[in-house]
């Protein structure tokens, strides 16, 4: 599940490659954003190239987005409807998703987090089972891993 408003589009293919190295490909692929915003136009082609479903959220209030709540609700829905899914990937640097990661972990799911080093709060990082920094993946360095054990 990708918070496209807080994730660089050019990094997603690298993130997807990393996920495949860790044991498989995501069953549910969704990106959340107000895709009508011109700054997010590049995500449209990323979604098409990676078979990811764009979930377009719009806002009626300037400066507010409904993307976060949509992603959180979908995570809980997927958790309840698909018990076969053993893990979740949360691609975001937004610390508001720490509670989502905690809830998924409490349900016995493995939670991989992917986010930017300078923007990912400690609460988000420590709430994931494993957190990888996008910048280190882009450089190919192994030092991007933070693991909660």
Domains belonging to the chain, first-starting first, are 2-147 (3.40.50.1010)
Phi-psi region of 102 (alpha: psi -120 to 50; beta: other; left: phi over 0): alpha
pLDDT at res. 59 = 73
* Token code pair at residue 16: 């997807």
Of the candidates 9, 6, 30, the one whose C-alpha atom is nearest the C-alpha of residue 89 is 30
Signed CA dihedral, 114, 78, 58, 9: sign only: positive
pLDDT at res. 63 = 60
Alpha-carbon distance of 77 to 20, in angstroms, equals 24
At residue 146, the 3 state secondary structure works out as strand
The tens place of each residue's pLDDT in the chain, 149 residues long, gives 999 998 999 899 899 988 888 877 788 999 999 988 889 999 999 999 999 999 998 876 666 678 999 999 999 999 999 989 999 999 999 999 999 999 999 999 999 999 998 888 899 999 999 999 998 888 764 444 443 33
Alpha-carbon distance of 26 to 66, in angstroms, equals 23
0.95 exceeded by pTM: no
pLDDT at res. 100 = 98
């Amino acid at each position: 599940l990708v918070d496209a408003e807080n994730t660089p589009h050019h990094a997603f293919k690298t993130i997807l490659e990393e996920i495949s190295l860790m044991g498989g490909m995501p069953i549910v692929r969704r990106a959340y954003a107000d895709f009508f915003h011109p700054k997010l136009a590049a995500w449209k082609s990323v979604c098409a190239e990676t078979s990811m479903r764009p979930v377009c959220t719009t806002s009626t209030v300037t400066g507010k987005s409904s993307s976060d709540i949509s992603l959180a609700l979908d995570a809980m829905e997927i958790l309840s409807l698909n018990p076969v899914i053993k893990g979740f990937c949360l691609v975001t640097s937004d610390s508001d998703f720490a509670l989502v990661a905690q809830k998924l972990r409490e349900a016995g799911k493995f939670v991989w987090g992917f986010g930017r080093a300078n923007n990912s709060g400690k609460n988000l990082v420590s709430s994931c089972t494993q957190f990888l920094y996008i910048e280190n993946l882009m450089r190919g360095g192994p030092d991007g891993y933070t693991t909660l054990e």
